Amino acid sequence: MKTGTDTPIIVAKVGLWSDLAQLTKMRLAFSVVFSSFAGYLLAATSISWPILVYLLIGGFALVGASNAYNQIIETDLDALMQRTRNRPLPSGRMSKMQAFWMATLFAVLGLYSLFLINSKTAFFGGLSLLIYVAVYTPLKTKTPLAVFVGAFPGAIPFMLGWVAATGRFGIEPGILFMVQFFWQFPHFWAIGWQLDTDYQKAGFRMLPSGKPDRVTAFQIVFYTLWTLLISLMPYTHYTGALQLSGTGALAILISGLGLLYFALRLMQQRTAAAARILTFASIGYITLVQLIYVFDKFLMQ
């Protein structure tokens, strides 16, 4: 038999779960886990389920910790922006101390899970957390170079799977790192273009020229080209065990030309709508590249 107090309890639980999802940016965490999973499949000769579980838990927890620490530091700034003012901390639904302990719990869980795989995986995971929280976050209000710094922790997940599977860092995880590193510039500058007015309220300097103009658009096109070229490097067969067949290279080339088209369209139109389309196109591109690499390994080689 249900009582009248059941509904408030359910609402409170739903609200807490929603706040935790916002604090850790759970959807972003899942995309990072997907990158690590793809990197693991590319390197593994056979699936070790314990290692895979530790990798997924560790990656998810560290991304959650990074985002939670970031929001603790930026609480006052988040309160100034339309898109972030309703987050748990600026809205007052959660205290900084509560968020801190949640972030720390996630950080410990993440590092411990990755350490159970091997020390190199834990090192790169910890380095990602450190750079994101201690370097990238403070720089966001100081210089547009923050995006460059933030691209380092953002590029680690793809290569982390390879390191987890092999216990070593070499040319192969280096290429995976570079693919995701260069990809982040057109992706995050497209987001920054859309949100420039909101970012200005908080003093965030995210665009390379400081504003959504032709210079920023040109750099987006420039880094899109580099992203495509690096994505094709495994086809040269000078990338160790990371190889790409002609069919896989053609699929990536077509995907990359599509991304380049939307980057060029942004340079021509210079509108928030064009930037929004490029944002979605960039997400589609990195997902396709990872899938193509994996399917190419198992089906074409």
Kindly report, residue by residue over 268-284, the tens digit of the pLDDT: 999 999 999 999 999 99
Q: How confident is the model at residue 9 (pLDDT cuts 50, 70, 90)?
A: very low
Residues 145-171, mean pLDDT to the nearest whole number: 95
The structure tokens 């040269």 sit at 236
Chain centre distance of CA 137: 14
**Does the pLDDT value for residue 11 go beyond 50?**
no
Q: How confident is the model at residue 6 (pLDDT cuts 50, 70, 90)?
A: low
Phi, psi of 89 (to 5 degrees): -75, -55
pLDDT tens sequence across 12-65 = 454 678 888 899 998 888 888 999 999 999 999 889 999 999 999 999 999 999
pTM of the model: 0.91
70 contacts 133 by C-beta, under 8 angstroms: yes
